[in-house]
Amino acid sequence: MKRVFLLSLLNLFAIAVCAQGARDFKITEVYIAQEGENNGFLDEFGKASSWIEIENTSYTTHNIRNCFLTTNEDVLKEMSAPDREKLMSIIPSGDERTNLKGKQRITFFADGNVNRSILHTNFMLKPTGKPVFIALYDGNAVDLLDSITIPADLKPGYSYAKIGDEWKTIPNDQITPNAPNSFFGNADKIKEWKEKDPHGLAMTVLSMGIVFGCLLLLFVFFHLFGWIINRMNRAAKYKAIMKLREQANKVVVIAKEGIETKGIPYENYVAAISLALHEYLGNMHDMESGIITIQRKDSEWGNKDHNLRHQESHFVPTN
Name the residue ranges covered by the structural domains of the chain.
21-184, 201-281
List pLDDT tens digits, range 39-50. Answer: 778 888 888 899
Query: Looking at the predicted structure, is the pLDDT value of residue 100 above 90?
Result: yes
Q: What is the mean pLDDT of residues 95-111?
A: 93
Q: Looking at per-residue confidence, does 260 or 159 come out higher?
A: 159
Provide mean pLDDT across the span 284-302.
65
pTM above 0.85, yes or no: no
Check whether 99 has a pLDDT greater than 70.
Answer: yes
Contacts of 258 (CB under 8 A, 6+ apart): 264, 265
Instruction: Please provide the average confidence, as pLDDT, over all residues in the chain.
Output: 81
Give the pLDDT band of residue 13 (cuts 50, 70, 90). Answer: very low
Determine the average pLDDT of the residues in 108-114: 93
What is the C-alpha separation between 138 and 196, in angstroms, rounded?
51
Specify the length of the chain in residues: 319
**Which pLDDT tens digit goes with each residue over 48-77?**
899 999 999 999 999 999 999 999 999 999
- CATH number given to 21-184: 2.60.40.1260
pLDDT (mean) for 148-177? 90
* Cα separation, 144 vs 76, whole angstroms: 9
pLDDT digits (tens, 9 = 90+) for 213-223: 999 999 999 99
Q: Could you give the angle at the alpha carbon of 56 between the alpha carbons of 50 and 60, nearest 5°?
A: 155
Q: Determine the average pLDDT of the residues in 185-191.
A: 58
